[in-house]
A = this chain, B = another copy of it.
Amino acid sequence: MTVTSGSLRSRTDLCAAIENELSGLIGKRAASATAYGAHFTRLWELAGHNVLGGKFVRPLLLMETYDALRTRPQQKNPAATDQPRTSPPNTDNRETAISIAAAIELLHYSFLLHDDVIDGDLVRRGHPNLIGSLLAEAQSLPRTTNAEGAREGSDLHWAQTGGILMGDMLLAATHQAFARADLPHALRLRLLDLLEHTINETVAGEQLDVGLGDGIIDPHLETILMMCGYKTATYTFELPLRAAAALAGADFAVENALASAGRHLGLAFQLQDDLLSTFGDPRRHGKDPFSDLREGKETAIIAHARTTAAWPDIEPFFGRPELNGAECEYVRRHLADCGAEDFVNGLIEEQMQAFNDLLTSTIPDGVCSVLLDLAGQLEGRQS
């Protein structure tokens, strides 16, 4: 999949428009926050820094899909060149689409924050997350009221509270953007339905993930695949695609085909992530090497390994935070040898086959290009 200079340019423009919208949403709130003092304002500053430093995967998917649905069909389907393919010509929701796209990025960051609180994480992609930043700042404050012994616990408590509260405010901000969307009421209600469905599914996925990690829910492969779809694929792929279709006035058949394609692609990405975390080269993908093994994360890789004769050799090392490099290498070799790596690669191929099958029929050509471009990023990560 090659990206033309034209689409590169338009992606740069889109990124600028999304960034501008996010700056507005966050800047307005950071300004009101000053009335409540420095600590409250700091939450918005840190959140703004982290949100605006993102890659805008979800907003870009929404906007590129929206633009593709609103553009005249390409030459290979000449019979329809005079008409936009799927939407009535007199409704242009592009400005609103930008604000919904930005709101979805806020939702993403809200989920990340509460996930970080739940997982006790202080770092994301090698940098302190909001909680880590608040912790470092609390530790540098001069204080006389707390005994030094209790201070470490209260600094972390303060920082994690900041994560919960900022996640709440971003969830609220997401809903405010959807609720205020400048659209006919019925279409706004349709987007609110989508948001509600997405949050339910993401929360259900998060609960499954935590239940698997805490030993409350049994780690069957089927449960793990369901968790991957719910926790990430729904809000990362299905929500932007369905929102784009609704805003562009696409047929419901197109919207449903997009949602299915998005779910397959999302599951493939998640499985690929698990493979990279376990078998990938950390210098290339930037993830913490072996963190999944040390944390005892219940992935499809582990679910398959449990069904093989190699599991008794792996189990004693699984979920042990103190594993050294040699032990991790040992587990990794066993996971490859028992067929778990091949098995998950097979699952990814199945998902990509189902994804490709959907591109041949209902989905307009321009949107297929957007999706194939995204799928190309998956292939890039495999190499």
Chain A residues at the B interface, C-beta cutoff of 8 Å = 29, 32-33, 36-37, 39-40, 43, 114, 117-118, 138, 141, 143, 145-146, 151, 154-155, 157-158, 161-162, 164-165, 167-169, 171-172, 175-176, 178-180, 185, 188-189, 192, 195-196, 199-201, 203-204, 206-208, 210-211, 213-219, 230
Contact = CB atoms under 8 A, between A and B. Distances in A.
Contacts of A195: 172, 176
B168 A207 contact: no
A346 B177 CA distance: 44
A33 B230 CA distance: 13
B230 A36 contact: yes
A165 B203 contact: yes
Given A37-B204, A165-B207, A176-B195, 10 more contacts: A32-B200, A36-B200, A39-B211, A138-B216, A141-B216, A145-B219, A155-B216, A161-B210, A168-B203, A172-B196
**Assembly stoichiometry (copies):** 2
Top 3 nearest A-B pairs by Cβ distance?
A: A179-B179, A175-B175, A36-B204
Q: Is the interface of A mostly helix, strand, loop or mixed?
A: helix
Nearest to A160: B118
A219 B143 CA distance: 12
B114 A164 contact: yes
28 contacts: A36-B230, A39-B207, A39-B208, A39-B211, A143-B215, A145-B215, A154-B214, A154-B216, A157-B210, A158-B210, A158-B211, A158-B214, A158-B216, A165-B203, A165-B206, A167-B168, A168-B203, A169-B200, A171-B171, A172-B195, A172-B199, A176-B192, A176-B195, A178-B179, A179-B179, A179-B188, A179-B192, A180-B189
